[in-house]
Each structure stands twice: as C-alpha cells, then as structure tokens.
Amino acid sequence: MKKISVLISLIILSSSILSAQNQKRNKGAGIPPEILNAYQALNFEGMPYRFLLPDNYDSKKSYPLILNLHGRGGIGDDNETQMRNWTEVFVDKVWRKKYPCIVVAPQSWDSWSVFNEQIPKLTAEEIARFSPAWKQRFDSGRYPTTTVSTGSLSMAFLLMDKISQDYSVDTKRIYVMGHSMGGAGSWNAVWAAPERFAAAIPSAGGIPPWKDKARFKNVPIWTFHGDADPTVPFSFSSEIFDAMKEMAGNMKFTVLKDVKHGSSIYSFYYKGDDQEKGFITRSSSDHCDPTPDVWDWLFRQKLK
C-alpha cells in the first residue's frame, strides 16, 4: 500500500508540470452536451475522468469494464476534451441494454505511457533495421533517449483498481480501446499489463518496434487502420499484424481502404466487412474469434 501511495505521489508531481503546459490545448469535447452529461465527471488523484455505470446497476451482478483512451486532441484537464465521437455509443439506450458494462474515460496530461518508461539506448545498427516509417519517426527526434514518461497509463491502471474495489467489476472482462494516441495507448496497455485485459480494440495506433510483441500475443486484439492515414502510418498496424502471424497470435486486423485518420467513425461501429468498400478483416491465426460485429466480438472475450 505504501509503494502505491509513493507511486501516486510521484505521478502527480511529474504530471502537474505537463498538465499546466497542456491546459491551452483544451478545445471542447466536440460532442452534444446530452452525451457528455450522461457521464459523471470525477477526479482520481488529480486525473480527471468520465464514468458511466450500466442502466439499473445492480451491485449483486458483475459487469465488464471498458477503459476508453482518447487521442492527442484530448490532452488537458477540462474533463471534456477526452470525450471523442465514439463515446456516444456507450450511452445509446439500445446498446446499453444489449451490453451492460462500466465505462471509464480518463483524461491524460501526456501520451499513454507507464510511469518512468524510457526509450532504450539503441545502436545505429538497431535503428537501421526499423521499418521506414518508424526509422523516420526516430530520426526526426520524436523519441529522444532522454524521454521519461510521467505515467498517465499507470494512473489509469490504479483508477481501474479503485473502480474494481468500489463497484462490481468482472475482472475477467476488462477491455481497453482507443483511437490514434489512444490506439497507441491500447497497444501499450496490453504490452505493459497483458494479464489485466481480456481484449483490446486499438484504432489507428501502433507500438514502437523495440517493444516485445510476444508479450501480448495471447490477448485477443482487433485493430483498425485506414490505409490512407497521413497521421499515423498504416504500416504501424500492419507490422504488428505480420509479427502476430509469425507467432500465431490472437489478432484481427481490419484494413479500411482509402480511409485517412478518421478511422474511429468505422472502428467502433463495425458490423462486418464490406468487400465493395474494401473494408476487409484478416486474422493472424485460427485462435481469432471470427465474430463480425465489433461489440459482439468484444464482449465475448474473457480471461481464462
């Protein structure tokens, strides 16, 4: 318990600087007030978050928990900007009746990384083996070796633990999802703590090539990416899929033909492939659940 308290104190201290720097980034949630107001606005040790219980919550029942991670545009501390377009799904009456669950949407002060996470010291030979897209990112100085994470993802994990203590959470059905920076955060979550998550839905994300993908090969993952994405290279997702195929991992990969960075308007509403549009899903192995509806698929997943 003392170690957890010290960790929280360190995260709060280091995050306060970035929070102040990012206050001007708040641009409003961009969703209707009735959607925003359906969620409780709460705060956990300095981390703002929105919270949604199932209709007719019953403490005698247990419910899945969704950790919903926003993209870079949601950085701040207004407890609104993190609520992106797909958060409307969770308050739809029909959806809520079909998929009763608890939803938590924390707001980060920085990228979704674990506390004290550093970029490893890589040799020129190691960097040269990166794919062109990742090599360009690294050569640009996007990942300096002095970078240290201030731990917003670690704080989100502690928040999940607190919610699991206070509410009736089915800890075998905890899911993580997000778009763009939130997609990257979803990848980082299953890399950092694969034992926590029953499944993940990363949209237009990626994970740095120096992180061992074998850590999450058994986590059911369904990722989406537009093949015309100018912001997050499509290859970030396709490279992970290729690795998952080699190790017979549990990953589905939906290619959204001609879609740019707005893949979230498809990812979290997906009902099945459309050959005419070029929306096609591939599986890395026969371990993958072929269920075509993204939400039916998600809620079928459970830790063993």
CATH number of the domain enclosing 154: 3.40.50.1820
Helices (H), the chain: 2-22, 33-36, 93-98, 124-128, 132-139, 152-166, 181-192, 235-246, 264-267, 294-300
Average pLDDT in the chain: 90
User: Would you state the pLDDT for residue 126?
Assistant: 87
Q: What is the DSSP letter of 47?
A: E
Report which of 39, 116, 101, 34 is spatially closest to residue 70, judged by C-alpha positions.
Answer: 39
Report which of 158, 293, 277 is spatially closest to residue 222, judged by C-alpha positions.
Answer: 293
Residue 48 φ then ψ, to 5°: -65, 145
Domain that includes residue 68, residue range = 2-300
| Window from 46-55, 126-135, 210-219, 292-301 with minimum mean pLDDT | 126-135
User: Would you state the pLDDT for residue 30?
Assistant: 67
For the whole model, what pTM was predicted?
0.90
- The H or E element that residue 1 is part of is none
Segment 279-298 shows an average pLDDT of: 98
Q: Which residue has the higher pLDDT, 52 or 29?
A: 52
Render pLDDT for 242-255 as a digit per residue (tens, 0 to 9).
999 999 999 999 99
Confidence of residue 20 (pLDDT cuts 50, 70, 90): very low
CA dihedral (69, 71, 77, 79) positive or negative? negative
Segment 212-220 shows an average pLDDT of: 97
